[in-house]
Amino acid sequence: MEIQWYPGQMAKAKRLLKENLKLVDAVVEVLDARIPDSSRNPDIRDLIAQQPVVAVLTHTDLADPQRTQEWLAVLQQDYAGVAAVNAMTGEGIRYLLRLLKNIPVKRKYGGKLRRLMVVGIPNVGKSSLINRLTGRSATHTGNKPGVTKGKQLVRLPGDLELLDTPGILWPKMENAGQAFRLAVVGAVKDEIYNPVELGAALVSYLTAHLPEALPKRYRIAPEEKDPHKILTDIGRRSGCLQKGGRVDLDAAARLLIKDFRAGRLGRITLETVERRGESDESFQQNDT
Ligand SMILES: Nc1nc2c(ncn2[C@@H]2O[C@H](COP(=O)(O)OP(=O)(O)OP(=O)(O)O)[C@@H](O)[C@H]2O)c(=O)[nH]1
Ligand SMILES: [Mg+2]
């Protein structure tokens, strides 16, 4: 799977990240519980030594609970603190609030105020998380990447201030496996990838790792292995048809991706702690 990236934009995002860091006492890195590894910003790793960084897993309601526990244990080793939340219902928020109030920081603003910057990939739930922490709709959220355009400072009770920032991606998406995972969870704008290619990659992943998911949801034959054939079957069974009765492959792929994102294929985590940090170069030949 190939995705077109804009290096100029990436460089700008990196520069902004560094500038904003000077304004805050600590950082909250929001990670997607379905792809804890691919949603980590490599630039943040270098900064952890200088400033406390807390990792927050969102979308835990859509992720495999067992794997979320494994990821929390691993991330705990790298971050000043970790938490898992559902930014829609507020599950895990009280624990996170306590954590944020208690991490030791060097205060830049004197007094008791602690200012935290919330960073993460597009569409991961940064603004939703801030709204949950404040208990009101202080920031705009939306079901697509790129909703937050500029930074916004939000004050919380208890002398906490949170800086909401636009989502950022970085050029590590040269790796086809990571590009697939970032696109499938919705971190990448729809216009930049081919839905049939992404849908086929998702089918390949599921047939290899969770062989029951597709037959259960769409009643397709479990022995079928060809991704395009499976997409066609999904389309036929779900009524994604063009004039004349031919299957609309594009619509079938979009439906599959939508079902995945809504958790209708089950609670799925696409990355394991055992394979963290591995660049799966073999992905392209084997899985797409
Ligand atoms: N199921 C589920 N959905 C979530 C969760 N957190 C956020 N969402 C949804 O994910 C979408 C993106 O949320 P936002 O808060 O706008 O994400 P963001 O990181 O601020 O996105 P940008 O500003 O575009 O970078 C919205 O449709 C939210 O409702 C979660 O924990 N679980
Ligand atoms: Mg936002």
Return the residue matching tokens 């105020």: 113
Which of 96, 123, 268 gets mutated to test ligand 1 (max ligand atoms within 8 A of its CB)? Answer: 123
Please report, as a single letter, which amino acid is at residue 31: L
Domain boundaries, the chain: 7-171, 194-287
Handedness of CA 211, 212, 217, 219 (dihedral sign): positive
Strands (E), the chain: 26-32, 53-58, 81-84, 114-120, 152-156, 160-164
CA of 85 to the centre of ligand 1 (A): 12
In ligand 1, the atom with minimum distance to the C-alpha of 142 is 16
Whole-angstrom distance between the N-terminal and C-terminal Cα of the chain?
7
In this structure, the residue with its CA closest to atom 30 of ligand 1 is 59
Q: What is the pLDDT of residue 171?
A: 61
> pTM score, two decimals?
0.93
* Ligand 1 atom showing the smallest separation from residue 124 Cα: 19
SS3 sequence, 238-269?
HCCECHHHCECHHHHHHHHHHHHHCCCCCCCC
Query: Which residue's CA is the nearest one to ligand 1's atom 9?
Result: 125
- Ligand 1: which residue has its CA nearest to atom 3? 59
Highest mean pLDDT of the ranges 105-114, 166-175, 177-186: 177-186
Q: For 194-287, CATH number? A: 1.10.1580.10
Cβ atoms < 10 Å from Cβ of 69: 12
Which ligand 1 atom is at minimum distance from the Cα of 131?
Answer: 15
pLDDT tens profile 49-104 = 788 999 999 999 999 999 999 999 999 999 999 999 999 999 999 999 999 998 87
- Beta-bridge partner residues of 30: 56, 120
Measuring from each residue's beta carbon to the nearest atom of ligand 1, which residues come in under 6 Å? 58-59, 61-62, 86-88, 120, 122-128, 141-143, 145-148, 166-167
Residue 111 burial by CB count (10 A; 0-12/13-18/19+): exposed, middle or buried? Answer: exposed
**Residue 45's pLDDT is what?**
77
Q: Please give the torsion angle defined by the CA atoms of residues 28, 128, 172 and 280, in that order, rounded to the nearest 10 degrees.
A: 100
CATH architecture for segment(s) 7-171: 3-Layer(aba) Sandwich (3.40)
